[in-house]
Amino acid sequence: MIREVALAAFASVLLLFYVPFLALGYYIAGGGELRLPSPSLVLTTFGLAALTAAVSIAVAYPAAYYLAKRGSELEFALLIAPLWVGTLLKAYSLLVLFAIVERFTGVALWGSALGVLVGMVYEYLPYALLTLYAAVEKVSETPVNAARVLGAGRLQAFLRVELPLTMPGVLAAFILIFLFAMGEVIMPAVLGAWKVYTFGSYVWDLYFKARDIFSGSVVSLLLTGLSLLATYVVVRTIRSFSI
């Protein structure tokens, strides 16, 4: 009985996620002139997404390590609280901050790639934190203590034992944030003032400006396929790291 209920729940979630893509298939079947993004746009988006993921992990890993080892519930709640705030509200709050920074330093972040990067890191940092916290928290102290007994220093034990054991979590966080950033629309639009053009911006324009449903559907399915492939790679990699 439990197995049947679990299978039914799994099938329901699967259908709820994939059935909407049948609509994309419907529009693709109608045909049309396919307009794909330029290589420079794809490279810009890939670079910005990879930087967002890398910076988010670099900032989140020390915080996740502290929370897993010595952090309190209040500190954990404070660090993940931004998840409850909408993306648009975060973007406009950063606009105010950018105006203050420009006033006192002369550095103009609004309408720049750096400003978009700051906004996207601000948006996805909690996701990296949660993923890395789960990876660090489940690492047993036994191999670390064994390394210390055998003469390894605290830093050496971290680099050679703890860090490799958390690499599946690091990879999962990177892929998760990379895929989120690939389809991001709000931060480039608000903080980039549409001067920083990304893959998500291109899909938005196809649907809502050019009214090109055919091209928008094809590009959306390409991005979905990339997401599925990346998810598969993450799962296989995590299993290969399992001990």
Q: Give the model's pLDDT for residue 114.
A: 93
Q: Is 44 exposed, middle or buried (0-12, 13-18, 19+ CB in 10 A)?
A: middle
Q: Give the model's pLDDT for residue 239.
A: 64
Confidence of residue 238 (pLDDT cuts 50, 70, 90): low
Name the H helices within 81-112. 87-105
Reported as a single tens digit per residue, the pLDDT across 150-181 is: 677 777 777 777 888 888 889 889 988 988 88
Does an H or E element contain 107, and which?
Answer: none
DSSP state of 196: S
Reported as a single tens digit per residue, the pLDDT across 205-233 is: 888 888 888 888 888 888 877 777 777 77
Structure-token pair, residue 35: 């307009």
Across all residues in the chain, what is the average pLDDT? 83
Reported as a single tens digit per residue, the pLDDT across 46-103 is: 899 999 999 999 999 999 999 888 878 888 888 888 888 888 889 999 999 999 999 9
Q: Give the model's pLDDT for residue 53.
A: 93
DSSP state of 185: -
Confidence of residue 241 (pLDDT cuts 50, 70, 90): low
Name the H helices within the chain. 2-18, 20-29, 39-69, 73-80, 87-105, 113-137, 141-149, 154-157, 163-165, 167-182, 186-190, 199-208, 213-241
Q: Is 223 exposed, middle or buried (0-12, 13-18, 19+ CB in 10 A)?
A: middle
Closest C-alpha among 118, 101, 116 to residue 56 = 118
pLDDT for 199 beyond 70 = yes
Q: Compute the chain's Rg from CA coordinates.
A: 21
Q: Give the model's pLDDT for residue 243.
A: 46
Closest C-alpha among 70, 181, 200, 177 to residue 130 = 177
Taking the C-alpha atoms of residue 78 and residue 22, their distance in angstroms, rounded to an integer, is 40
Q: Give the model's pLDDT for residue 110.
A: 92
